[in-house]
Amino acid sequence: MKKNFKPGLFLVLVILCLLIFASGYWSFQNAADREDGIRRGLDIAGGLYMLMEAVETEDREVDEDTIERAITVIRSRIDELGVEEPVIAPQGDDRIRIELPDLDDPEQAREIVGRTAMLEFVGPDGEEIVTGANLEQARAERNPQVSPNPFVSLEFDREGQALFAEATEKYYGEPISIVLDDEVISEPVVRAVITEGQATIEGDFDFEEASELALLLRSGALPVELRELESRLVGPTLGQRTEEVAAIAAGVGLAMVLLFMFIYYRAAGVIAGVALVFYTSLVLFVLSQLPTTLTLPGIAGLILSIGMAVDANVIIFERIKDELRTGRSLRSAMESGFRRAFRAILDANVTTLIVTIVLFILASGPVRGFAITLFIGILCSMFTAIVLTRFLMRLAFKAGAIQSGAYVGVKT
Amino acid sequence: MINFIGNRRKAYTISLVLIVAGIISLGIFGLNLGIDFTGGTVFQLTFGEDFAREEVETVLAPYEELEGAAIQVVQGRDLAGEPTDEGLIIRGPYMGEDRRESVMQDFQDSFPQMDLADSRVESVGPVIGGELARQAVLALVVAIAAMIAYITYRFEFKFALATISALLHNILIVLGIFSLFQLEINVPFVAAILTVFGYSVNDTIVIMDRIRENIQYRKKKDYSAVVNESINQNLVRSINTSLTTLFVLISLLVGFNYFIGSLDLIVFVIALITGVLVGTYSSIFIASPLWLNLQDYKLSLPGRKAARNTDSGEN
């Protein structure tokens, strides 16, 4: 049986397979790297997801511009928290989606995002003096020599300075209300005419609260009130455990698949195994290169696409076996098996691709992530089955590593 | 060769019984919809210490909205197999930000060891819940329409009809099972149903492809023999593919069940497993036999279109 064996070609085949296994190992390692690997969704990595809706009122209409301005304000607030890779994006006409991975203090983040932070200075006659729009700087400070309580120091811009100077002259000796989001937070009495545009807010807060207030004032008020529609806060440990278990289970499952393929399809099964490892590393590589996010449903999509990748190989091998049974030579059975399997694989995969496209367009959130992963998975699996399996099978045939039906699992 | 066609009435009967039972269950018990669809709040907490149920109830007592909330204990294991601290999942109606934070604060006060990194608080407003359900149904309907169009283009309308019938059959059975066992359904379940979708269509189309090809190569058009032969030729492949997919899914099921203990994940994998099983069954016993039955109704000229499409599909 070994008469057609060509050691040179066989060596090429073996080296190729080893290279694929090595690349597989490298890409598993790469994908496992939480820093540079595939971007994890918040359900895996942990973090805060929020969906906010702009509340339309009689005097404030919500349009694209409002949402854009609100996003700018939220972004500058979040940036001050130092959150890495935040997602703050419009969704639909009047919604804003916020995804914040890796948070130290999610409650603070939630507080900061949702607050309108509309600051007003109001005279005793109820007339508005100046608003937060005229602020240039806001800082939390403490002066232990005067009082242990922290305060927020404000600096107005040129216009604010003028307004403030005018008002302090007009209301000299009278109280001015400092109002934040319709709530009076301080009511100082004017004791001097202030022309440099500086003011302080003293109130019943600790230093942390003062810093938060200063932050809100610095980044400006939201142009519209935001209402929470959905909020998901997942601790980082929780998701990480899930990911570890999923990875181990997928590894065990994959090993069982490889073993099964080898037992059932012999040499061809080994080639399918190599193709499968190549497929997995290809998918992981593509996913890590694209700005996609891997969610738990996404992992399910991956598993399904692994199943379909195996399916493609199984279809090919079964077709080759069928052709062999009709009495063809191995070479011609392989070629016609590939040709006939191709059409079945194409139609089956394209139909599933259509489902993923529909999902991508119509769904949102995790289901969308599932659709993207499955879409990429199916493309990679078609490529692997049609191009790589075929190439390796031909090479194995030429090298004499597959010499008869027995090598693809046909009982002789 | 197994006589699938001759025995197709038995398969139809089994399917009909399953579907009717499922529909009855759906009518009586309905589906156990989770917060993604109904709106609501879920707290998953790890206290990092032993706790008594009464302690938890004491913390929750001041919150009227959580009266009668479902409390479930979860316990996982670390990778060495040692049991981890018991955790708790509380499911209640939608609560605003202030109320949720207040609940969390109260728990933190009562259980100072509580690990926030190992916790989760999810809250979905009622508006969103309704939207997600609508979105899911819309996605299913559009996906079905798109698939009918593609299969009709590549094969013929009756193939599409048979495939979609098998698909609806699968979805009804999976929904019936989820209704009967009252397993909770959330957004990932929709992903699972759609996976079942893709899987059973994939499985069915490969057999349809075989039928198309066998019709082309035959002069005498005995459809029932052709269909039976095609199913048999594909049998090993159908079984092997399901087996390999099940290897991965069952590993996941065991892993999630043993290490995480979270029902959400387990339910998700169960949906996938049920779907793969039902999908394989229907592609063998239901889809192609159904096509044969449709042939008897002479909806269009049989064979002609199939043969034409086969020619154009060849490269």
Best to test chain B binding among A352, A368, A390 (most B CBs inside 10 Å): A352
Shared fold status for A2-41+235-408 and A47-233: no
Cβ of B146 and A245 within 8 Å? no
Shared fold status for B8-33+128-313 and B40-124: no
Contacts of B147 in chain A (CB under 8 A): 351, 354-355
- Nearest C-alpha neighbor of B156 from the set B4, B307, B312: B307
Per-residue pLDDT band for A273 (boundaries 50, 70, 90) equals very high
Question: What pLDDT, on a 0 to 100 scale, did the predictor assign at position A210?
Answer: 87
Best to test chain A binding among B114, B240, B272 (most A CBs inside 10 Å): B240
- In Å, how far is B209's CA from the nearest CA of chain A? 6
Residues 259-278 of A with CB under 8 A from B: 260-261, 264
Cβ of A229 and B260 within 8 Å? no
Q: Cα A33 to chain center, whole Å?
A: 15
Cβ of A237 and B115 within 8 Å? yes
Q: Give every CB contact of residue A85 below 8 A, 6+ residues apart in sequence.
A: A39, A101
E-strand ranges in chain B read: 32-33, 40-46, 70-74, 87-92, 120-124, 184-185
Q: How far apart are CA B271 and CA B190, in angstroms?
A: 9
Pick the residue from chain A with its C-alpha nearest to B44.
A234
Question: What pLDDT, on a 0 to 100 scale, did the predictor assign at position A53?
Answer: 92
Cβ of B201 and A310 within 8 Å? no
Contacts of A364 in chain B (CB under 8 A): 135
Q: Is A234 on the interface with B (CB under 8 A)?
A: yes
Q: Is A109 on the interface with B (CB under 8 A)?
A: no
Q: What percent of chain A has pLDDT over 90?
A: 24
**Tens-digit pLDDT profile for residues A80-130:** 888 878 889 998 889 999 999 877 777 788 888 888 888 888 888 888 888
Cβ of B201 and A342 within 8 Å? no
Q: Residue A350 above 80 pLDDT? A: yes
Q: Residue A325 above 50 pLDDT? A: yes
Phi, psi dihedrals of residue A178, rounded to the nearest 5°? -105, 115
Cβ of B198 and A356 within 8 Å? yes
Residues 303-332 of A with CB under 8 A from B: 303-304, 306-308, 310-311, 314-315, 318, 322
**Tens-digit pLDDT profile for residues B107-162:** 999 998 888 888 899 999 988 878 877 887 888 899 889 989 999 999 999 999 99
Average pLDDT estimate for A183-191: 86
Q: Are the CB atoms for A357 and A379 separated by under 8 Å?
A: no
Q: Which of B146, B191, B210 sits opposite A367 (nearest CB)?
A: B191
Cβ of B195 and A306 within 8 Å? no
Per-residue pLDDT band for B199 (boundaries 50, 70, 90) equals confident
Q: Which of A250, A346, A363 sits opposite B135 (nearest CB)?
A: A363
Question: What pLDDT, on a 0 to 100 scale, did the predictor assign at position B28?
Answer: 96
Question: What pLDDT, on a 0 to 100 scale, did the predictor assign at position B311?
Answer: 44
Cβ of B314 and A264 within 8 Å? no
Cβ of B248 and A250 within 8 Å? yes
Hey, is B39 helix, strand or coil? Answer: coil
* Residue A26 vs residues A13, A37, A281, A373, A388: alpha-carbon distances, Å: 20, 11, 8, 20, 19
Q: Residue B307 above 50 pLDDT? A: no
User: How confident is the prediction for chain A on average, in pLDDT?
Assistant: 86
- Nearest C-alpha neighbor of A200 from the set A290, A138, A280: A138
Q: Which of A260, A306, A318 sits opposite B237 (nearest CB)?
A: A318
Question: What pLDDT, on a 0 to 100 scale, did the predictor assign at position A3?
Answer: 63
Per-residue pLDDT band for A45 (boundaries 50, 70, 90) equals confident
Per-residue pLDDT band for B41 (boundaries 50, 70, 90) equals very high
Cβ of B117 and A236 within 8 Å? yes
Cβ of A300 and B210 within 8 Å? no
Q: What is the value of pTM for the model shown? A: 0.83
Question: What pLDDT, on a 0 to 100 scale, did the predictor assign at position B190?
Answer: 80
User: How confident is the prediction for chain B on average, in pLDDT?
Assistant: 86
Question: What pLDDT, on a 0 to 100 scale, did the predictor assign at position A125?
Answer: 85
Cβ of B195 and A51 within 8 Å? no
Question: What pLDDT, on a 0 to 100 scale, did the predictor assign at position B312?
Answer: 42
* CATH architecture of the region A2-41+235-408: Up-down Bundle (1.20)
Q: Lowest mean pLDDT of A68-72, A388-392, B226-230, B305-309, name the range.
A: B305-309
Residue extents of the structural domains in chain A: 2-41+235-408, 47-233
Q: How far apart are CA A250 and CA A272, in angstroms?
A: 17
Pick the residue from chain B with its C-alpha nearest to A362.
B139
Q: Residue B301 above 70 pLDDT? A: no
Per-residue pLDDT band for B315 (boundaries 50, 70, 90) equals very low
Q: Lowest mean pLDDT of A62-66, A303-307, B155-159, name the range.
A: A303-307
Q: Which CATH superfamily is domain B40-124 in?
A: ACT domain (3.30.70.260)
User: Where does B8-33+128-313 sit in CATH, by number?
Assistant: 1.20.1640.10
Q: Which of B118, B199, B313 sits opposite A304 (nearest CB)?
A: B199
* Residue A22 vs residues A36, A274, A278, A288, B36: alpha-carbon distances, Å: 19, 11, 10, 18, 42
Kind and range of the H or E run holding A139:
strand A135-142
Question: What pLDDT, on a 0 to 100 scale, did the predictor assign at position B314?
Answer: 39
Average pLDDT estimate for A173-182: 88
Q: Is B180 on the interface with A (CB under 8 A)?
A: no
Q: Residue B313 above 60 pLDDT? A: no
Cβ of B188 and A340 within 8 Å? no
Q: Give every CB contact of residue A99 below 8 A, 6+ residues apart in sequence.
A: A42, A47, A48, A49, A50, A86, A87, A88
Question: What pLDDT, on a 0 to 100 scale, did the predictor assign at position A412?
Answer: 57
Best to test chain A binding among B100, B104, B251, B311 (most A CBs inside 10 Å): B251
Q: What percent of chain A has pLDDT over 70?
A: 98
Cβ of B255 and A235 within 8 Å? no
Q: Residue B278 above 60 pLDDT? A: yes
Question: What pLDDT, on a 0 to 100 scale, did the predictor assign at position A146?
Answer: 80
E-strand ranges in A235-338 read: 293-294
- In Å, how far is B268's CA from the nearest CA of chain A? 9
Residue extents of the structural domains in chain B: 8-33+128-313, 40-124
Q: Lowest mean pLDDT of A263-277, B168-182, B195-209, name the range.
A: B195-209
**Tens-digit pLDDT profile for residues A192-201:** 888 888 888 8
**Tens-digit pLDDT profile for residues A204-251:** 888 888 888 888 888 888 888 898 999 999 888 887 888 888 888 888
Average pLDDT estimate for A168-182: 89
Contacts of B252 in chain A (CB under 8 A): 246, 249-250, 253, 303
Looking at residue A265, its amino acid is: Y
Average pLDDT estimate for B6-11: 92
Q: Which CATH class is domain A47-233?
A: alpha beta
Q: Residue B177 above 90 pLDDT? A: yes
Q: Which of B79, B194, B236 sits opposite A359 (nearest CB)?
A: B194
Q: How far apart are CA A362 and CA B136, in angstroms?
A: 8
Contacts of A337 in chain B (CB under 8 A): none
